[in-house]
Each structure stands twice: as C-alpha cells, then as structure tokens.
C-alpha cells in the first residue's frame, strides 16, 4: 500500500483540499456516557481487587476473570483514548471535485472513497475552528447493539473506527463543509 493519499487521486480529478484529523487525545459528545461508565467499571474492578477478588480458592480459571475485567477497565478508561489518537495519527483526508477520500496508513491500512454525486447525507458538527464532517449516518448511542460488525460496535468508544466515512476534527471545517455542499448542489 502506498504511503500517501496522493496515489489514490485519479488523473481525471482535481484535488480541492487535503488534511488530517485532529491529533492527540480528543474527547467528544459520546464521552458524556463513556467517561462515567468507564469510571464506574474501573471502580468496580478496583473494589473487586482490593476486597480479595483474586484468590486461589476458586481455582485457575476464576483468577483470570478479575484480570480480564481489569484489562477491559483499563482499555475503556484510558486505552480507548490512546487507541483513537494512534489511529488518527495515521489518517489523511482528501476532497476532490468528484470524491471524498479517507486514507489510513500502515498495518490494517484502508482507503474509503465516497462519490460526491451519490452522497445522500452529510452532517457538520462544529467544534470551534475545527469540526467533524460525517458522510452518512453515524452510529447512535445504542449502535453497539445494532452494529453489523465488531468494528462498528467499537465506534462508540473509538470514533475513528466508525465504518461511516468522516473527517474528524479538521481545521477550517466550515469552509471544507461548504465546499462539499457546493459540489453536491452542482451535481
């Protein structure tokens, strides 16, 4: 796989904009649920460990359950934020006169394209000078239960895993959104 989004821009297309998602740790609206849940989960695991939840009385398999819950608590509390930041650090976005391109470098890399003339829904979520532009429906709060894949179900915890193409935390997002809407109207 190529190391640049440029190799996915066709010769008959004109590049209008190129960018990257916001880097580093990023909290969003979904964290109004995720943070309290992760703290509750982590507190429960901590109480289980402090109260002697790990003992050899139950045998080998029962020792693994508190450890498993501890790893899950660590992931939902801190790991998911680091995982999301790592995924976004390897992403690039492009807007051409015909398509939206979302490119992810490296192991498990992926290229997603959306034909502008076939887009039925574009949502803009402003965040100051930055913003999110979502091309289609994003999973709701209960997206985990109706998800078609494990990756989709994880999008509630790690937004960059969403199978819905999106530009996350891009600079000057309003201008990019207006450009996309202008292209949609022209088609």
pLDDT tens, 109-155? 789 999 999 988 999 999 888 999 999 876 555 554 554 566 666 77
Return d(Cα 85, Cα 24) in angstroms, integer: 5
Instruction: List CB contacts of 79: < 8 A, sequence separation 6 or more.
Output: none
pLDDT of res. 1: 41
Question: 169 with 127: CB under 8 angstroms?
Answer: yes
Instruction: Specify the pairing of strand 130-134 against strand 110-115.
Output: unpaired
Cα 122 to Cα 107, 112, 151, distances in angstroms: 29, 16, 21
Q: At what angle do helices 60-74 and 31-50 cross, to 10 degrees?
A: 150
Question: What is the reported pTM?
Answer: 0.81
Closest to 98 measured CA to CA, from 108, 113, 79, 111: 113
pLDDT tens, 53-106? 555 555 666 667 777 888 888 898 889 999 999 999 999 999 999 999 999 987
> Best-predicted range by mean pLDDT among 1-15, 24-38, 159-173?
159-173
| Tokens of residue 119, six digits | 């887009």
């Amino acid at each position: 796989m190529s190391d640049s989004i440029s190799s996915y821009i066709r010769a008959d297309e004109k590049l209008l904009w190129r960018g990257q998602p916001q880097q580093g740790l990023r909290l969003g609206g979904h964290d109004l649920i995720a943070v309290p849940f992760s703290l509750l989960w982590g507190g429960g695991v901590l109480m289980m460990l402090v109260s002697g939840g790990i003992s050899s009385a139950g045998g080998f398999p029962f020792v693994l359950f508190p450890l498993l819950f501890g790893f899950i608590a660590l992931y939902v509390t801190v790991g998911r934020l680091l995982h999301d930041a790592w995924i976004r650090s390897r992403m690039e976005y492009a807007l051409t006169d015909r398509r939206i391109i979302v490119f992810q470098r490296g192991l498990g890399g992926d290229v997603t394209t959306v034909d502008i003339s076939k887009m039925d829904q574009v949502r803009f979520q402003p965040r100051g000078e930055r913003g999110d532009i979502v091309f289609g429906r994003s999973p709701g709060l209960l997206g985990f239960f109706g998800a078609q894949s494990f990756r989709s179900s994880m999008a509630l915890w790690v937004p960059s895993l969403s199978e819905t193409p999106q530009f996350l935390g891009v600079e000057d997002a309003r201008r990019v959104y207006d450009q996309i809407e202008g292209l949609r109207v022209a088609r």
